[in-house]
């Protein structure tokens, strides 16, 4: 057991200042990832700053955007009326994640910042992990890689980004609002994450002394339909093997707008621009959906343990495009 200092903060700027003063301090929101990693000895922050009392809890609709405080819980967001009405893809992604007990603790900011579930990263007894100990190698490439990524990876790290919500949010063009020492900034979620092949030890562009304060979700047009399909080893309490978030506007049999996110395959929540390119302006048919799914996996980099994900991800996307569009032929 390691001792650490616990600080309960009530002011956002105070947290930023505390983080800036101490490069090894860490934040505690719901604690469902942070405390696991501390118990496992992967993270050993000498100071833990409890941010749960910061005024970052609300969920508010302003015009055609939903503003979600970083400390809103997964259950609160899933139960929100605007989410139920206009963002089924978000509701489904949330409710297919974790368990109801976890979702009542886990926050939206923490969900977006959860670390990879790579078992080698989470076991300090394994010495080879470029993410935990840069330059040591990657145990997963030759090891058990069923829960690893095939896009945005190379032999240095094949870690998967595990958040379901983030997959839905990249498809929706959500924006993350951040507060740091020098003020606030906004980052589109599609630019928030970095891939493991760029830098295994870094997962996003958040600086140490920056807090996520809010996530802004633009609402898709009222005529849009959306949904999330998650393929997993069991029906609850399990991370995705593959998943697809789909937002479509179809008029007279033609796809006018398409936005697609893929989960279970990327070192970051994967925006499938190639699929969107195939879908937009094309007839809403299963042949189009198949073409779109084939476009998504062309750059996959697999090891024997992850090769099954390429056809599975294609089929996952085709199935969800059929479900959301209502077109199966
Ligand atoms: C058994 C289990 C199953 C799970 N299954 C799923 C699943 O199927 N799908 C899924 O998506 N997730 C799943 N999760 C992950 C879960 O959703 C996350 O652990 C949770 O959302 C993290 O939120 P938190 O508030 O507990 O974050 P914490 O654990 O408190 O924090 C996580 C990280 O984010 C940082 N942080 C938190 N909030 C902020 C902020 N506002 N600004 C800056 N930094 C911040 C913390 O410092 C820490 O580094 C599962 C977790 C467990 C334990
Ligand atoms: S996949 Fe990434 S996180 Fe996992 S062992 Fe390899 S370097 Fe570490």
pLDDT tens-place string over residues 71-82: 999 999 999 999
The answer to whether the predicted template modeling score (pTM) of the entire model surpasses 0.85 is: yes
Q: Give the ligand 2 atom nearest the CA of 145.
A: 1
Pocket of ligand 2 (CB under 6 A): 116, 118, 120-121, 129-131, 138-140, 157-159, 200
Is the distance from CB of 239 to CB of 162 less than 8 angstroms?
yes
CA of 157 to the centre of ligand 2 (A): 5
CA distance 228 to 195: 23
Q: Whose CA is nearest to atom 17 of ligand 1?
A: 111
Q: Whose CA is nearest to atom 6 of ligand 2?
A: 138
CA distance 217 to 221: 12
The residue written with tokens 């919500």 in the block is: 165
Q: Whose CA is nearest to atom 47 of ligand 1?
A: 27
Residues 6+ apart with CB under 8 A from 329: 285, 286
Mean pLDDT, residues 183-206: 95
Mean pLDDT, residues 285-303: 97
CA of 218 to the centre of ligand 2 (A): 34
**pLDDT value for 197:** 84
Cα-based distances in Å from 159 to 77, 143, 176, 195, 290: 27, 12, 23, 9, 27
163 lines ligand 1 (CB under 6 A): yes
Q: What is the DSSP letter of 299?
A: T
**pLDDT value for 236:** 85
Give first-to-last CA distance, the chain, whole Å. 59
For residue 47, is pLDDT > 80? Answer: yes
Q: Coil, helix or strand for 58?
A: coil
What are the pLDDT digits (tens) for 308-321? 999 999 999 999 99
Q: Coil, helix or strand for 126?
A: coil
CA distance 239 to 106: 15
For residue 1, is pLDDT > 70? Answer: no
Q: Over the range 206-223, which residues count as b (16 or more CB within 10 Å of their CB) and which as e?
A: beebbbbbbbbbebbeee
CA distance 114 to 326: 34
Q: What is the DSSP letter of 304?
A: G
Query: Which has more pLDDT, 2 or 287?
Result: 287
Q: Whose CA is nearest to atom 6 of ligand 1?
A: 98
243 lines ligand 1 (CB under 6 A): no
Nearest in space to 161 (alpha carbons), one of 268, 45, 320: 268
**pLDDT value for 198:** 82
Q: Whose CA is nearest to atom 8 of ligand 2?
A: 129
**pLDDT value for 199:** 87
**pLDDT value for 82:** 98
**pLDDT value for 123:** 96
**pLDDT value for 56:** 98
For residue 91, is pLDDT > 80? Answer: yes
User: Please, which residues bridge with residue 47 across strands?
Assistant: 5
Q: What is the DSSP letter of 180?
A: E
Q: How confident is the model at residue 2 (pLDDT cuts 50, 70, 90)?
A: confident
The mean pLDDT of the chain is: 97
Mean pLDDT, residues 233-246: 95
264 lines ligand 1 (CB under 6 A): no
Test site for ligand 2: of 158, 161, 198, most ligand atoms within 8 A of the Cβ = 158
Mean pLDDT, residues 127-154: 97
Q: Whose CA is nearest to atom 2 of ligand 2?
A: 157
């Amino acid at each position: 057991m390691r001792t650490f200092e616990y600080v309960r903060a009530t002011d956002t700027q105070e947290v930023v200042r505390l983080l800036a003063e101490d490069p090894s301090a860490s934040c505690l929101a719901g604690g469902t990832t942070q405390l696991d990693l501390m118990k496992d000895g992967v993270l050993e922050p000498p100071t833990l700053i409890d941010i749960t009392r910061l005024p970052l809890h609300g969920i508010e609709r302003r015009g055609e955007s939903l503003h979600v405080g970083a400390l809103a819980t997964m259950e609160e967001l899933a139960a929100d009326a605007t989410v139920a009405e206009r963002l089924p893809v978000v509701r489904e992604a949330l409710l297919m994640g974790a368990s109801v007990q976890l979702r009542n603790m886990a926050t939206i900011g923490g969900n977006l910042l959860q670390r990879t579930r790579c078992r080698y990263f989470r076991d300090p007894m394994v010495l080879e992990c470029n993410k935990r100990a840069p330059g040591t190698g990657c145990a997963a490439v030759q090891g058990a890689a069923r829960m690893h990524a095939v896009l945005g990876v190379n032999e240095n790290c094949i870690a998967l980004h595990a958040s379901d919500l983030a997959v839905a949010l990249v498809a929706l063009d959500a924006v993350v609002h951040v507060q740091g020492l020098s003020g606030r900034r906004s980052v589109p979620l599609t630019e928030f994450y970095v891939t493991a092949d760029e830098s295994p030890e870094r997962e996003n562009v958040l600086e140490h002394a920056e807090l996520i304060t809010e996530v802004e979700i633009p609402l898709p047009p009222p005529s849009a339909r959306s949904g999330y399909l998650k393929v997993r080893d069991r029906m609850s309490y399990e991370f995705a093997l593959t998943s697809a978030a789909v937002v479509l506007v179809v008029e007279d049999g033609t796809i006018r707008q398409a936005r697609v996110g893929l989960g279970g395959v990327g070192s970051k929540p994967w925006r499938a621009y190639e699929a969107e390119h195939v879908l937009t302006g094309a007839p809403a048919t299963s042949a189009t959906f198949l073409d779109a799914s084939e476009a998504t996996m062309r750059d996959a980099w697999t090891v024997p343990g992850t090769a099954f994900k390429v056809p599975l991800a294609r089929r996952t996307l085709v199935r969800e495009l059929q479900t959301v569009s209502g077109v199966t032929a």
